[in-house]
């Protein structure tokens, strides 16, 4: 499926380079959700995500004539988006009023580091509250990572990329990506350990009473 998408992208890119504007619209349609999704996850703001989305596709449009097929189009557009997102993270890292990423994006945060609530307790209000609190705590923990650690973790776990692909997107080696991911995961585990320990202790006390 991925190879088919790459072939389709390559065909559309060549069409755009030949002056076919409709082909560019098809490229946008094929990748717009992915671009917006990543921008929204990083910024936590609809307006900021839309700004990055618009800027990303403007860059794509302006630079597409020079695309040389040295990597896949999807890798190339991810590289553009991640650079814009990294700039955003660096600009906002020290802002005290930085808005947290919404913790309810398709429940992804609940799968992070195997912190998955029991589905049999889905209708339990206490479990739902715990899940919401966990999602919020994870969002805060992610913001404590460096911009590069955050981006590597996002691309690997939330965008589902292989480490080799993450390296291509960030223009670095797979070994470097592995080291960055290890640091990010260790930091997140440390941040989440106190939260889960406190919640488990609280739950145990409630059960014993």
DSSP letters spanning 106-145: TTGGGGGGG----GGGTT-HHHHHHHHHHHHHHHHHHHTS
- Measured CA to CA, the distance from residue 38 to residue 52 in angstroms comes to 10
Whether the Cβ atoms of residue 26 and residue 14 lie closer than 8 Å to each other: no
- Measured CA to CA, the distance from residue 173 to residue 166 in angstroms comes to 9
Per-block average pLDDT, block size 10, for the chain (209 residues)?
Answer: 81 95 95 93 89 96 94 94 92 57 40 40 48 68 88 91 94 95 92 65 41
- Strand segments, DSSP code E, in the chain are none
Nearest to 130 by CA among 206, 25, 186: 206
Token representation of residue 170: 């960030």
CA torsion through residues 107, 135, 74, 16, sign? positive
pLDDT in the model for residue 44 = 83
pLDDT in the model for residue 194 = 67
Whether the Cβ atoms of residue 151 and residue 89 lie closer than 8 Å to each other: yes
Nearest to 112 by CA among 8, 179, 171, 195: 195
Q: Which residues touch 31 (CB under 8 Å, ≥6 apart)?
A: 74, 77
pLDDT in the model for residue 15 = 96
- Measured CA to CA, the distance from residue 166 to residue 78 in angstroms comes to 9
Which secondary-structure segment (H or E) carries 180?
A: helix 174-208
Domains and CATH numbers, the chain: 1-99 (1.10.1740.10), 101-209 (1.10.10.10)
pLDDT in the model for residue 107 = 41
Would the pTM of this model clear 0.85, i.e. be above it?
no
């Amino acid at each position: 499926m991925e190879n088919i998408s790459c072939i389709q992208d390559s065909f559309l890119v060549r069409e755009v380079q030949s002056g076919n504007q409709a082909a560019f619209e098809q490229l946008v349609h094929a990748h717009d959700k992915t671009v917006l999704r990543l921008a929204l996850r990083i910024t936590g703001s609809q307006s900021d995500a839309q700004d990055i989305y618009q800027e990303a596709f403007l860059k794509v449009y302006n630079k597409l004539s020079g695309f040389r097929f040295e990597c896949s189009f999807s890798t190339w557009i991810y590289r553009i988006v991640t650079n814009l997102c990294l700039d955003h993270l660096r600009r906002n890292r020290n802002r005290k009023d930085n808005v947290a990423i919404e913790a309810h994006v398709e429940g992804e945060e609940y799968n992070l580091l195997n912190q998955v609530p029991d589905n049999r307790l889905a209708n339990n209000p206490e479990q739902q509250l715990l899940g919401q609190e966990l999602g919020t705590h994870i969002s805060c923990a992610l913001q404590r990572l460096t911009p590069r650690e955050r981006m590597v973790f996002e691309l690997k776990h939330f965008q589902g990329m292989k480490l080799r692909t993450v390296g291509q997107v960030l223009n670095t080696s797979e070994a470097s990506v592995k080291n960055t991911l290890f640091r990010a995961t260790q930091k997140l585990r440390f941040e989440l350990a106190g939260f889960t320990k406190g919640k488990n202790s609280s739950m145990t006390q409630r059960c014993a009473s």
